[in-house]
Structure 1
């Protein structure tokens, strides 16, 4: 994936007197004055060095502002990748040291772990001093790094140049797609040019039948063994190769479970987002068209179905901006409006949901009754799909689990019973529901849908 160029952010600040310089100057004057007035040589001996150092530092007061640039090394990351938060300080005669401290951000690890770093600045040189803190993003999403505090000190620490806390634009961490392959073709391809075998005759690579020659057939299609045996020209007919449209619907109404980032346990939304990225990457590489709708997401318009490697970048960016709904009335209204989207005939709709929202399962049933090929992928974490949940796992379901563990466990059992009943109704209506298992998750389902698509059926318009 190509990355846009990141322009450095120029910092603006001003020089200020440090408290240490004020203390040194005030204490030196006080001790020298007291020693002279009270005729105490020891006070003069103690205060004179402080006063001399303070006066010397005052004579070297910085007159010009330094040139300080801050930037992030990469504007786009995959889960588990790292970038650098950099501060570059040009050579300046009045700057001795530069330091930077980053505020901690969730799902981000730092090196050094203290998130603080200081470097020496050359008085006269051509190479700027650079302080770089390595930031590793462990979960998808839009993640700001910082804000950061930058400070430059003059020789002897008498003056400090400190701008306002620096907040650079948030970087996108796109989901790291799970490994996914599908050896079974899409049931009903209905595009122009692709790699999926269509049910319609046309130019393709898979044999349909050998039939008598008709006007308009190409001579290269002549099947000579049959023609010689029968004494009449016969040609080979093939199935047309077409592309398909894949519509991914990600349920963001609920996020069940606790996300531990890459390499750890994942929540239901983690599983859905990573599975959607894997499915999109697989079918885009096969030449199909992929669209995306995030159900319940705010300020995230649907991604129109398209093909090509650049479209994968658009899909992953949209998945990275996915946020879970708040459960308010406006979210329910937004979900109902999103469920009224148009689905073209021949589209394969893949719904990734933890099956907690009954509206999403009802939408899957409605699409199936309209003749759309629908596959529902269950993204609920496996350890939460059982009734007997350990006490340490109850906090992943409700925030009040630590105060009322028995009530929380009972409520979750009831919700699982309702979920099982709704999933059973969806299966009876012809909607297959499979748990996400990586490669081969959709093979058996697509094979069954392919057989069903070739059989006569009654649909509602």
Structure 2
């Protein structure tokens, strides 16, 4: 009697594990004089952290509605990340954590990237004005994660600044642009969060293709 080998194949849509990494260390406005922390931001214009919270909430809701598990980490605090979960109650936990996020004194320097679930899709929401968030994104990409860098810096106003401050702002922005280019070369998808609806869906589609 011959020997027959039976192979059973099953195919199912696997849920993705998504970790949204909020960088709450920066809360800057369109006036570059607020970037150093000595000048208060305008109460009528959204700051980078306002935009970051909105982006993180939009993406968390979208991923959870399609059945994925979502976690939340904050680069600006030493508190433990919110582990990945699902459902409406978990969304409420994420929204509550986002509402409480704020800069806590002098931004802490990151000694290592926070631990995340194996195979998770990482969305790093930051202004990328310093190298810490970019370094964490690059480390995750090197470890094999799918990483999206979500840029939430508003377009700065420099027209009314003295010449020396305009030059300083341009240097900072040039360094930031170079930092984002290096992320792209490292395989990180860089997206500018300009329109929270249209760009949000685009981020969702890009990340979902490589996450499950």
Question: In the alignment, is residue 411 of structure 1 matched against residue 168 of structure 2?
Answer: yes
User: Going by fraction, where is helix more abundant, 1 or 2?
Assistant: 2
Q: Secondary structure at the match of 1:293?
A: strand
Question: In the alignment, is residue 366 of structure 1 matched against residue 139 of structure 2?
Answer: yes
Q: Which residue of structure 1 aligns with residue 23 of structure 2?
A: 251
Aligned length: 196
Quickly say closer, same or farther: Cα 1:406–1:216, change in 2 above 3 A: closer
Where structure 1 has 5 or more consecutive residues not aligned to the other structure, the ranges are: 1-213, 218-236, 395-404, 455-461
Quickly say closer, same or farther: Cα 1:326–1:406, change in 2 above 3 A: farther
Question: In the alignment, is residue 441 of structure 1 matched against residue 199 of structure 2?
Answer: yes
Describe the superposition over 1:435-458 as per-residue Cα deviations: whole angstroms up to 9, x where unpaired.
Answer: 11223425556666677789xxxx
Structure 1 residue 425 displacement after superposition: 1.0
- Work out whether residues 121 and 211 of structure 2, in 8 Å CA contact, stay in contact via their aligned partners in 1: no
* Match 2:177 to one of 420, 423, 437: 420
Q: Which residue of structure 1 aligns with residue 127 of structure 2?
A: 354
Alignment of 1:217-296 (within 5 A): 239-257=11-29, 258=41, 260=43, 264-296=44-76
Describe the superposition over 1:386-412 as per-residue Cα deviations: whole angstroms up to 9, x where unpaired.
Answer: xx7232xx6xxxxxxxxxx33222211
- How many Å separate the matches in 2 of 1:374 and 1:239? 25
Task: Give the superposed CA RMSD.
Answer: 2.7
User: Whose Rg is larger?
Assistant: 1
Q: Which residue of structure 1 aligns with residue 101 of structure 2?
A: 322
User: Going by fraction, where is strand more abundant, 1 or 2?
Assistant: 1
- Work out whether residues 146 and 210 of structure 2, in 8 Å CA contact, stay in contact via their aligned partners in 1: no
TM-score, normalised via structure 2 length:
0.81
- How many Å separate the matches in 1 of 2:84 and 2:119? 13
Q: Which residue of structure 2 aligns with residue 342 of structure 1?
A: 115
- Work out whether residues 253 and 357 of structure 1, in 8 Å CA contact, stay in contact via their aligned partners in 2: no
Alignment of 1:128-277 (within 5 A): 239-257=11-29, 258=41, 260=43, 264-277=44-57
